Structure 1
Amino acid sequence: MKPEEANQLLEPGYLPFEAGYKRLDNGILLVAARSSIMQVTGKMIDWWFSYVQHTEQYKWWHEEDHVFSDWIGERGTGKYIGGTHIAYEKLGGDTIHKLKINFLDPAELLDTSRFAASGVSTAIHARLGEAGKKGWTAKMVHFVRDTPYGCEMRSRFWLGCFEDIDLANDYDTRVAVYPDEIGYGLQKHCHEEMSNLGIFLPALYERETGLKR
């Protein structure tokens, strides 16, 4: 599934490829993760992305892999679209990846008019690049459906979507910038951090908002 085919996520059930990583025919490295998150709803996840800011909070999410966090844009307003998360994190190894994650309207990727019929509670859409440098090198979406136990998150990362940067969107460049081995670490990290939300987010959400699930 390429970014322009992301509306496949709106179909009932699941796709043949829901977890792992693979190289697409255009050189993009597609990484997929599926996480079952207990006692957490899409509404709570949407709130979390508008809340998390500093490093201590970021470490709640993944104590081992998360190293540093800051935010460019509004905080404490319930808004995160248009903001940029500066995140230093490990992805299954010792290397610290210094990322900038710019959050975009999900309607730029998905047909949001189909969300209600598809049981979608929220979708988090962003582009990624290297912190401190211009341009963008990847896209991602976290696609959330509520369940009786909480919610399920189906994540997709498209590594090798170059924008506003001096890199060609061709097969060889994409493989050089994003070799296959990064796919394993990213898939593992994503599944772990999203599953971790079930440990602390329900109590945090109730304490900070006065609301329950």
Structure 2
Amino acid sequence: MAVMTAHTFAWRTPLLACATALGSLLLTATLPGPLGSSAHAQTTTSALTVPLAGVRPEALSWWWDNIDAALLKAANSEVLAFEWLQRPASPQHLGYSAGARQRQTVLLQGQNRQVDITYLDPVLVRTHVASDNFLGSKPYSFVAQQVSIDGGQAFTVLVQYKAQGKQFTDTSASITVLGSAPALAAPYVAHLGKTLSGLKASVMGALDQRYFNGVLKGRGFYTIGKVDKQLNVTLNVTQEIKGITPDMLSWWWDHIGNTERYKLWQPIDHVSFEWSVPPTTPDMRYDIGAVQKVKENIGKTLMTLNITGADPAVKAPPVPLDDPGYFYALANPTLLDGLLPDNQLVHQWKPNPTGDGVILRSTFKNTALARVINSTFFEDLGNHALREFQMLPYFLPRLYRREALGE
């Protein structure tokens, strides 16, 4: 279903440029503000911009904490070996874990080099990145690394990234070295750029299978009912979503907004979003009569739907509305809207017992004819609900805190 407003990224533009094989290598530009405890201004000694067609930013957010030797070597044949010296604390949540340490053996300038990488506290680069990175649990648009090659002088590498393209299917990554840097810093930047570019062949597939399917789908369950007398099937999905509040979910429905935000919700399954009828008063409760026109993949079936906010007092929902928060809508394929009985959906939520998330119960009542188009439609729909709602902690807290609370 939905996703986020245009992000503001604090990208710094270096002043002098020269070409490299992978992009524009930028030299000697000044960035204001201290890094860590240093009192003097930090300088950008080298930087590189890498376009990643067909790669979403979420793939990089996943990548930092889930690097392994196979993926790394497939992306860049110059990587000869890889190991974690200190594993990431929370690899199953998008964004990097400060304090994680890794070691790579890399062919750099014709020699095998030992590269030690430590993920830095995000606060150390706070003045150089988008401020809303600090409104969520982990950074979403950058990674900050301390790098040492063959035990030599350590230097700081900052990688920032943001969605690109008409449908926000691509990513632009910027690699910057902050502060003073040894001679091998620029070759390392080129090497890292080659690695990121090499991810295009595999990282989205790894994100899909290892994270969305391997992790998120396991955080809830669904049950499929029998075909009733009206030829409808009821699907029930139950999941616990940690890291969001009931208010965040109440706010979300009227503030999905556009395709950019919609793809944050599910970067692979979601294709596009627009308001056919926008909310008249966007607030903390969904707008009855507002119509979302969405295009999304349910399994391998691409569907375009009109999702219309419904009034439970006018059209009875498929289940009692027992929880304090709910969203009730009619969800019909655009080509058949009005020709068949309405498909209904209800999302209901309440605080979880531990107070650090919500319990979400979703009910879908759809025509059994959907199985004519896709024999596993209801199984795919259940998995789709798990894949999208478990993404909310990645982006919704920072959106809500910035836009609703003004933080």
On whether the aligned pair clears a TM of 0.5, the verdict is yes
User: Aligned match of 1:69 in 268, 273, 281?
Assistant: 273
Which runs of structure 1 show a deviation greater than 6 angstroms over 4 or more consecutive aligned residues? none
Measure how far apart 1:42 and its partner are: 2.3
Pairing 1:104–2:307 present: no
**Structure 1 residue 46: deviation in Å?**
1.6
Distance 1:176 1:61 in 2: 26
User: 2:281 aligned with 1:53, yes or no?
Assistant: no
Gaps of 5+ in 1: 1-17, 161-172
**Shift of residue 211, structure 1, vs aligned partner:** 6.5
**Shift, 1:182, TM fit:** 0.2
8 Å contact 2:344–2:364 — kept in the other structure? Answer: yes
1:146: Cα distance to partner? 1.3
Aligned to 1:151: 358
RMSD between superposed Cα atoms in Å: 2.4
Match of 1:169 in 2: none
One-letter code aligned to 1:46? S
Percent identity of the aligned residues? 26
**TM-score normalised by L of structure 2:** 0.40
Task: Give the secondary structure class of the aligned counterpart of 1:19.
Answer: strand
Moved more, 202-211 or 148-157: 202-211
CA contact (8 A) 1:159 1:178 kept: no
One-letter code aligned to 1:103: G
Aligned position for 1:204: 399
Partner of 2:347: 142
**Which ranges in structure 2 are unaligned for 5 or more consecutive residues?**
1-220
1:85-141 superposed Cα distances (whole Å, 9 cap, x missing partner): 101000111x310111111124443666xx5xxxx2311111111125531541110
Compared CA separation, residues 177 and 82, structure 1 to 2 (3 A):
farther
User: How many pairs were matched up?
Assistant: 176
Tell me which of 373, 382, 387 is aligned to 1:192.
387
TM-score of the pair, normalised by structure 1: 0.73
Q: How does 1:1-12 map to 2 (within 5 A)?
A: none
Q: Which has the higher contact order (CA 8 A, sep 6+)?
A: 1
**Partner of residue 247, structure 2:** 43
Contact 1:29 1:180 in 2 (8 A): no
Partner of 1:88: 295
Between the aligned partners of 2:237 and 2:320, the Cα distance in structure 1 is 21
CA distance change for structure 1 residues 181 and 57 in 2, over 3 Å: closer, same or farther? same
Structure with the larger helix share: 1
Greater Rg over alpha carbons, structure = 2
Determine if the alignment matches structure 1 residue 127 to structure 2 residue 347.
no
